[in-house]
Amino acid sequence: MGRGLERKLVKLLTKALSQGPVRQEELLALLERSGVRVEPGVLWEICRNHSIAELHGDTWIPRGFGQPDREVVLDPDQADRRTIADHDDRRPAEEVAAEAEVLRLTTRLGIPAVEPVPSSKPVPALWPEVATNAARAFGDELEAVSRRRTQTDVPLTLGAKVGRTGTRTIIRFEAQGELGVTEGTPATLVVRDAHFDVEVVSIFGNVVTLSMPADAPAATEATLRVDLSWLLIAQSRRLRELERGGPGFDAGAALEVVTRTHQHDGASRVQPHPDMSRGLNAGQHGAVELASTPGLTWLWGPPGTGKTTTISALVTELRRQGKRVLLAAPTNAALDVAIGAVLRRLPDLEEGQVVRLGQPADLSLVDRACGRVLVDEIAAARGEPIARRRVDVGRELRETRRMLTPLKRPVKELSSKQEATRLELETRIAELQALQRELDKGLLRVRRQVCREAAVVAATAHQVVLDTLKELTFDVVVLDEASMTTAALAMLVAGVGNGHTVIAGDFRQLPPIAVADTPAAQEWLKRSPFEKAGISAAVAEGRHPTRLAALTEQYRMRPPIGDVVSTAFYPESPLVTAPAVVGRSLRSRAPWASSDLVVIDTSGLQARTARRQGMFSRYNLAHAQLAAAMIGGASSDLHDLALITPFAPQARLLESLLPEEHTEDWAASTVHRFQGAERDIVVYDTVDTGHGITSLHPWFTQGIAGSEGARLLNVAASRARDNLVVIGALDVLHRTKATRDAVWTFFAHLLDRAEHLPWEKLLTYSAGPTELVESRLVDRLQEDLAGAETVEMWLPRGPLNHLPALIPALRSIRAKDSEIEAVTLWVEPEPDGYLPAEALRARREGINVRPLTPIHESGAVIGDAVWSSSSALLSTSPGVVLRTEHPAFADAVRRAQRRRPGVAPGTGQLGDDCGRCRHMLIRYEAGARGGADLRYECPACDRLPRTTRARRSASYVRR
């Protein structure tokens, strides 16, 4: 943001807030009317940096603004009279009346009008500086996210209701774009111009599950509007509020989980009840015994070692001791796994003793016949009068707004009667809005009371900074999957306890993810508490902290898989396979998974790696086509399968290959999304080959223990129970002279022990959708073109010998929409910027030829057929050519390759000529240093010095 714009914003905000608090929605609208459009994250950053105001809920309170003290009335019979008497000169009458009505309702339900406030605890001397630094990291992340855009609209299709919880409805959609959000994120669903507050329950590939109000209309299509800044703002604000401590917050407990002090365990061990040891091995029993003892315990649970079983036994034991427990995890999926294990150990639990906040990804937790656990369901039953009134008010509010609509845009001036009607309706809307807000506050108080009375509260980690749990305290805090939780957030979670904290996870699996790259972000957001407190470093150096319980007996992977994983990623604490695994029978079989470990080396295939839409992440078309052959060759004996990959675009392609009848037991996902899951057979697609995009991702080149690459590979391999199949170009992924780090060690042992299956053999298992085209290339292309409605070709630099023979077939394809070209040929020009003669001829004959550089792909999508080649597809030496006929896969490839309009015209649009020399403008998708940088330039005129050249933008000269 320029300094001039920042100064203007400061001036406008100072003036707007000079008279008192303003709701954020109104403040953003005021700025827009003043000619400045900003996103919520930018607004927060300006107000914070210039000390203009603080955000409380959805309202900005000017710094120094004196809020009047308010006495809360305890007697419901006096509520109307005394509340109005206290506030009639300060607050609108409709707000006073609404508060009085809700106060009567909550008091009759036994909800105290005044909540108990926990006492403040001592604050260590180091805490204020630590809290400030961690808050600064959130500010850096907010700034980085804001530069990428904090608000985004994602089109949704194929909406379907899948469940209901209390006052909420669970709906699944297919996202038609990148979501870029985490589970638990609140968002806005736009349905036919109506806006509804929703929460993201889970994301699997491009399928997103949302929790929305029960009175929202059903819709098959909608738009998801996501504000990416809200959670960063909430966490940063909470840390700044707690810089000097706060009610119920234990700064000492918070500080301990990020401090590099590993003192000797002097506390006497608590012996668990014998029943708690049921189903535990010696290591798990020792972990429960250690974690039952007050103090900080680190629970290290490598893949398949029963960390969830251990945590469920621990929570059960703590409840037996009469302790109130907060069970937290970074994602809904991880939390559901943990709470499900707890409920299985406590089948006869009284309703309300275990409470789960938020919307579950596991729908078996919804409306449980054996006792509700979701806080919304329990609160809806307990606060039924408030919930019913809230639904009625919402319905009346929508109807009143509908009645007002005709009076907003009158054909002629309103009559006096119409003016009176308009005023009456607007007054009623104000009253209903005030009542709606107070009813929401009343339901919040019911939810807080439910949590206050529960023995075990389960919540995603970020919930501790939100209203339902704010200032509630617990005897013991258990943070599961802490290796995926930022050190800053782990502090906030630990601080709601009293120092009896259990940090559970595996620091050799996936770390937290952050965008910012500042020193503060590196320290607080890209490191988990395991790294920040020095636990992982101590283990690597051979020093075993006394309060670290390490689980080592694994029950998931067959010995060959477990041995490779253990050797590469757990040399300091080797994994031992449980005897039961050795004798376990196979549930799933596939012809290409005849051994525990299988390697499909694609070095000879020379498959090309490309970027989604030319700019983002990576995908490998030929690898996906091989996966299509594998699925096509599967038999009815393949019951349980996962196709996983490090890259999101590749996961989308793999997901499109899954048949509908196997959507429940087969999965396709990124490694990040699949952590915590497992399957009988796992196919791991590495994607990177060194062809197309020539540089390998750092995940494969920087593989020391604890690096992101080693963690990704560890998670990918350890998802497999019976068979692990790795697809990769081993000539580049495993070089014999490379540094012998964790990634090198994994591939070395894999290659030594695995069955080596030639990629060509995958095409012989069945008459699947993928075939190797070794002859009649032009004839086969012409056959596909004859029945196609759309064509998109990607032709990298090289000969186009066969293009002239395809021109008649290409010209015969007519678009159904006159605004969209049915054919787009993306052609990479020569280094001097000129197109090959064959491409120029095709353009002269009316084919939509578009110059583009660089082109990493080489292939085509012709109707339902997907083509790929290792060299230039239309040359006399195209290399290895694969063809896959699969409608869903073809659609997924189009989405991956489609170029979007903006700076330059996109897929299905005509290109432009230079307004000076009439040369074709080129779409450039890489900067001077090779990074993504979209430009639209003339290769002749725009080669002038940068100070004099005129870069093309959105204004084009149409030919």
Q: What is the mean pLDDT of residues 133-162?
A: 80
Q: Which residue's structure tokens are 């980085």?
A: 144
Is 60 exceeded by the pLDDT of residue 446? Answer: yes
In single-letter form, the type of residue at position 601 comes to D
**Tokens found for residue 102:** 């809700």
**Which pLDDT score is estimated for 949?**
39
Instruction: For residues 5-21, give the mean pLDDT.
Output: 84
Indicate the average pLDDT of the chain. Answer: 85
Give the span between the Cα atoms of 20 and 661, in whole angstroms.
Answer: 59
pLDDT at 882: 97
Who has greater pLDDT, 492 or 5?
A: 492
* Secondary-structure class of domain 554-764 per CATH: alpha beta
Which tens digits make up the pLDDT trace of 500-527?
Answer: 999 999 999 999 988 899 999 999 999 9
Q: SS3 helix, strand, coil % of the chain, rounded to 5?
A: 40, 20, 40
Question: What per-residue confidence (pLDDT) applies to 263?
Answer: 52
Q: Give 177's pLDDT tier (boundaries 50, 70, 90).
A: low
How far is C-alpha 316 from the chain's CA centre? Answer: 31
The residues pairing with 466 across neighbouring beta strands, listed in sequence order, are: none
719-731 tens-digit pLDDT = 999 999 999 999 9
Average pLDDT in the 383-395 region? Answer: 83
Backbone angles phi, psi at 567, to 5 degrees: -60, -40
pLDDT at 436: 83
Alpha-helical regions (H) of 541-619: 559-569, 579-582
pLDDT surpasses 90 at 204 = no
pLDDT for res 348 = 83
Instruction: Judge contact between 543 and 261, C-beta under 8 A.
Output: no
Q: Give the per-residue pLDDT at 167.
A: 64
Q: Which residue has the tokens 């020193």?
A: 519
Q: How many CB atoms lie within 10 A of CB 126?
A: 12
Q: pLDDT tens, 664-697?
A: 789 998 998 888 889 999 999 999 999 998 889 9
Q: Measured between alpha carbons, how far is residue 313 from residues 126, 306, 433 in Å?
A: 35, 11, 47
* Confidence at residue 85, expressed as pLDDT on a 0 to 100 scale: 38
pLDDT at site 231: 82
**pLDDT value at 792 more than 80:** yes
Segment 690-707 mean pLDDT: 89
Q: What is the pLDDT of residue 57?
A: 65
Residue 78 has pLDDT above 60, yes or no: no
Cβ density class 914-947: b for 16+ within 10 Å, e for less: beeeebbbbbbbbeeeeeeebbbbbbebbeeeee
C-alpha atoms less than 13 angstroms from C-alpha of 694 in its C-beta half-sphere: 3
Q: pLDDT higher for 263 or 427?
A: 427
Largest alpha-carbon pair distance within the chain? Answer: 91
DSSP assignment letter at 200: E
The hierarchical CATH code for the domain 775-943 is 3.30.870
The structure tokens listed for 670 are: 């990124």
What backbone torsions phi and psi does residue 61 show, to the nearest 5 degrees? -105, 120
Q: Which long-range contacts (CB under 8 A, 24 or more apart) does 79-83 make?
A: 79/103, 79/104, 79/107
What is the token pair recorded at 558? Answer: 């067959």
The kind and range of the H/E element at 173 are strand 168-175
- Position 80 scores a pLDDT of 39
Higher pLDDT, 139 or 94: 139
Q: What is the pLDDT of residue 267?
A: 53
Q: Residue 563 has what pLDDT?
A: 97
Question: Residues 433, 434, 435, 438: is their CA dihedral positive or negative?
Answer: positive
pLDDT at position 457, please?
A: 97
- The 8 Å CB, 24+ separation contacts for 341-344 are 341/308, 341/309, 341/311, 341/312, 342/311, 342/312, 342/315, 342/316, 342/456, 342/458, 343/373, 344/312
Is residue 431 a contact partner of residue 98, using CB atoms and an 8 Å limit? yes
Q: Determine the pLDDT at residue 533.
A: 96
Amino acid letter, residue 312: S
For residue range 340-379, list pLDDT tens digits in order.
Answer: 999 999 888 889 999 999 878 787 888 888 888 998 888 8
Q: Is the peptide bond before 186 cis (omega within 30 degrees of 0)?
A: no
Q: What gap in Å lies between CA 81 and CA 931, rounded to an integer?
A: 67
CATH dotted code for 236-258+270-353+454-550: 3.40.50.300
Domain coordinates in residue numbering, the chain: 3-108, 151-227, 236-258+270-353+454-550, 554-764, 775-943
Quick one: how far is CA 55 from the chain centroid?
A: 25
Do the domains spanning 236-258+270-353+454-550 and 554-764 agree at the CATH topology level? yes
pTM for the model: 0.81
Q: Indicate the pairing of strand 791-795 with strand 823-827.
A: parallel
State residue 149's pLDDT score.
Answer: 56
State the CATH architecture for 151-227. Answer: Beta Barrel (2.40)
Residue pair 746/569 in contact by the 8 Å Cβ criterion: yes
Q: Indicate the SS3 state at residue 529.
A: helix
Type and span of the H or E element at 152: strand 151-165
CB 488 within 8 A of CB 134: yes
Question: Both tokens of residue 714?
Answer: 């560890």
Lowest mean pLDDT of 271-275, 308-312, 343-347, 427-431, name the range: 271-275
Q: Answer whether residue 279 shows pLDDT above 50.
A: yes
For the ranges 71-75, 338-342, 343-347, 909-913, which has the lowest average pLDDT?
71-75
Q: Which residues pair with 173 in a beta bridge?
A: 208
pLDDT of residue 72: 34
pLDDT exceeds 60 at position 17: yes
Pair of tokens at residue 8: 């203007």
Model confidence at 651, in pLDDT bands (50, 70, 90)?
very high
Place of tokens 């855009």: 149
Q: Across 511-596, where does the E strand assignment appear? A: 548-550, 553-554, 576-577
Separation between Cα atoms, residue 645 and residue 624, nearest integer Å = 11
pLDDT for residue 419 = 81
